[in-house]
Structure 1
Amino acid sequence: MTGGSTRWETDPNTKSLFLARVPYTGSFELLDQQFWTYYGGPASNGAAQWVTSCSTAVPLTPKSEVEFSVTHLNGQFWLVHHTPASQAPGNIVAVPSLTPWGIGTQQIDLYTPPETQTSTVKASCWTRGYYFPDNQYPRFIDVPVTAFFTPKTP
């Protein structure tokens, strides 16, 4: 999964997520983009359609803030990310999917930061430290694996 969009984003705090793949032929040719294919949307049977040009790639939903991770756990792919500030005060959530491209709306709340959202200032560690790395407040939290068993629809 690749983050960020080369297309114009109207909200500077969220980015479209794009999915790309490179075939394994004894070694990965990650630096040579002629081997890359990009998610081009779902086929009629729900399988992924792959396109050779990033300009025709289709973004995944939901959008995410710039920090995100994808892991495979319990037979599902999990997108772990901040919710956009317009939805919640930057909660960390996990969104399950059976495929890398089928991310839905069910989510599990993993962590709620102690900061609160006030007026138009989003008090997250990203906002405070994006341009000034020595001002960042990184957080490392332990999330029990059992937290990934009870999705809910927001």
Structure 2
Amino acid sequence: MPSFWDAEVDKADFIPKLLGFRKIGPSSPVADEFIANAKALSDKIALKKPTIVGHPSFTEIPRVQLYCANEALAIPYISPMLAESLGDLPPILCQVGGLERFRDEVVIFGHKASSPHEYQLPSYAAKNFEKSPFKNPTKVVLEVYDDMVHVWPVSKKKY
């Protein structure tokens, strides 16, 4: 999303502009084992040649997220942004900082949940939206706090 690459965010947010976040902190045996296991899983998935729903970059660039392989980003349980619908969920409070690297993702998530009919996936990815029991809007309160960074409510720094 654009906020991830925003130069103004670079000046404020402590979340680095690194895909995969692998360069945060020194290497450790646990981190190295995790990366090795994740690569093995990615290789296993690649052997099955799955149909990847999403942007071609899922398979063309190095690992995007620390928590999953690129190939898994199209699974709605892993990436709710790619779920067919976020309707009929319990009420959601979305709070995000205006200078947060993940700001745009939070805003889109809130809109997608509150207006599932307006924020459907492209037709190639949405197979069953019309049959889905999750089409009704979710009650969402979206709060964007200007000049705040990622997880500012728990930060010790005074803003």
Q: Same fold (TM over 0.5)?
A: no
Q: TM-score, normalised by structure 2?
A: 0.21
Question: Which structure has more RCO (C-alpha within 8 Å, separation ≥ 6)?
Answer: 2
Structure with the largest fraction of strand: 1
**Larger gyration radius, structure 1 or structure 2:** 2
Higher helix proportion (structure 1 or 2): 2
